[in-house]
Amino acid sequence: MKKIASVLLATTLALSLAACGNTTSNASNDAPASGSASTPAPEKKKVEITYWYSWGDKIGENNENLVKMFNESQDEVVVKAEYQGTYDDQHSKAQAAFAAGNAPEVWQNEISSVGVFAKSGMTEDLTPFVEKANLDMKDFIPGLMGNSYVDGKLYALPYLRSTPILYLNRTLLKEAGLDPAGPKNWAEFEEYARKLTVKDKRFGITMPVDIWTYEAFVRQSGGTMISEDNKTAAFNTAAGIDPVKLWLKMKKEGTMNIVTTDDAGTQAKTDFHNQRSAMQFASTADLTKNMIVAEEQGFELGTSFMPANTTFGVPTGGCNLVMSAKLSPEKQEAAWKFIQWMTSKEQTIYASSFTGYLPSRVSAVESDEMKKLYEEKPLFKVAVDQLAYAGPRPMQKAYPEIAKILKDEILRSVVDSSVTAEAAIAEAAKKADALLSK
């Protein structure tokens, strides 16, 4: 901090006394000595903002580490990181906080919810900030930008992004005489699951009824979830029915364990970790955790594209960073400074290497650091290569409710053998159409 010298004051007093001839006066002793310093100017107060994030383990560590790094990198903004549970938990809390007038300045939007929050007026249009900063938007991987724009305006920047991939226990695959590279299509997937199943000991695969996985299978069949005009469900076709038929068939054969409890996702991970299943569909964000567990459990981990039907296909997932609307100019600038830093090339490299999430910057993928990582640990590159077959998730306001309806109807067909795949999807489509027509 610069200090202001008081030389001018001292000189003025000395000249005044000399002119009066008052050489015996002690008044001159009260003047500061030439060259002494005044009281330091107060330090500029740092702007404090709050950042909400989801998920724990390596993902939580990554968020906390990056916030600490940001706070230490500059002296203008202090960010307080706060864990909020799942994306759904965070979204519900954000709505309540916004209504109460104490929303976090920066938080995570699960990508299919970006449109909902933007259209509700809860998040800020980032376009002016991007233009002012002259940010190179072409450096963001195009396949990850589909859930960032709403009505032509930029409301979010890609942060921790992912696709589902197929995790494999290569040790078990080799024991079963299967190619450890994994199945390439649905027919091979069925064959792998059949050969990997050991009655009363192990399933070929354990999975929950998950909307993200369903979207992937629909895309693999050449289908889409919502019509192009956003007015009707598009999944009530063979492309939307065939995935459920496949799952029900494999469940009946005993090669797929479809978990129906509230902790289904956790159970699927536990089965894979404990080698009670040989395959698992999960986010690339689980990669570093699965690598650690595989080493602890003594098996070789593999990853591959999700198997194709008529084509390969996956939705993208994860979260984008958003700024709360209606912030003061000071808070806006602080929030933007943090968002820009978190989504930069360097932090993208760090987050991807630390967690397994996709790098969202072209410059990050092409960096020497990521090239070295892919060479040393090729499992990290599978999801990056799969991006060629990836697409955005639906962002209609009604879609979160439609996703829940779909999950419930598919679950109904899983637990009730009298409910066919056709009936479950038809009922879901009927309810979805009613929501979309409002």
pLDDT digits 0-9 by tens, 231-243: 999 999 999 999 9
Residue 372 has pLDDT above 80, yes or no: yes
Q: Which amino acid is residue 398, in one-letter code?
A: A
pLDDT tens digits, one per residue of 378-428 = 999 999 999 999 999 999 989 999 999 999 999 999 999 999 999 999 999
DSSP string across 77-143: EEEEEEE--SHHHHHHHHHHHHHHT---SEEEEEGGGHHHHHHTT-B---HHHHHHHT--GGGB-GG
DSSP states of 314-325: EE-EEEEEEEBS
Q: How far apart are CA 119 and CA 298, in angstroms?
A: 49
Q: How far is CA 414 from CA 250, 349, 417, 423, in A?
A: 11, 41, 7, 12
pLDDT of residue 438: 85
> So what's the pLDDT on residue 1?
38
Domains and CATH numbers, the chain: 48-162+317-391 (3.40.190.10), 164-315+398-436 (3.40.190.10)
pLDDT confidence bin for 16, thresholds 50/70/90: very low
Average pLDDT of the segment spanning 290-299:
97
Q: What is the pLDDT of residue 38?
A: 55
- What token pair was written down for 211? 């909307």
The pLDDT value recorded for residue 368 is 97
- Beta strands 47-53; 106-110: pairing state: parallel
Distance of alpha carbon 438 from alpha carbon 430, whole angstroms: 13
- pLDDT of res. 44: 76
Secondary structure (3-state) at 359: coil
Cα 194 from Cα 242, distance rounded (Å): 19
| Mean pLDDT over each residue of the chain, to the nearest integer | 91
pLDDT tens-digit map of 185-210: 999 999 999 999 999 999 999 999 99
Per-residue model confidence (pLDDT) at position 41:
57
Angle between helix 345-355 and 287-297 (nearest 10): 30
CB atoms within 10 A of CB 3: 11
Query: How is the beta sheet containing 203-208 ordered, strand by strand?
Result: 256-259, 203-208, 277-283, 164-169, 301-304
Strands 106-110 and 317-323: antiparallel
Residue 36 confidence class, pLDDT cut points 50, 70, 90: very low
Strands (E), 233-333: 256-259, 277-283, 301-304, 314-315, 317-323
Q: Which residue has the higher pLDDT, 100 or 8?
A: 100
* 317, 111 Cβ separation under 8 angstroms: yes
Task: Give pLDDT tens digits for 38-87.
Answer: 566 566 789 999 999 999 989 999 999 999 999 999 999 999 999 999 99
pLDDT (tens digit per residue) in 318-341? 999 999 999 999 999 999 999 999
C-alpha 224/C-alpha 432 separation (Å) is 14
Q: Which CA distances in Å does 217 have to 19, 203, 281? A: 95, 20, 11
pLDDT digits (tens, 9 = 90+) for 242-254: 999 999 999 999 9
- Contact (CB, 8 A) for 374 and 356: no
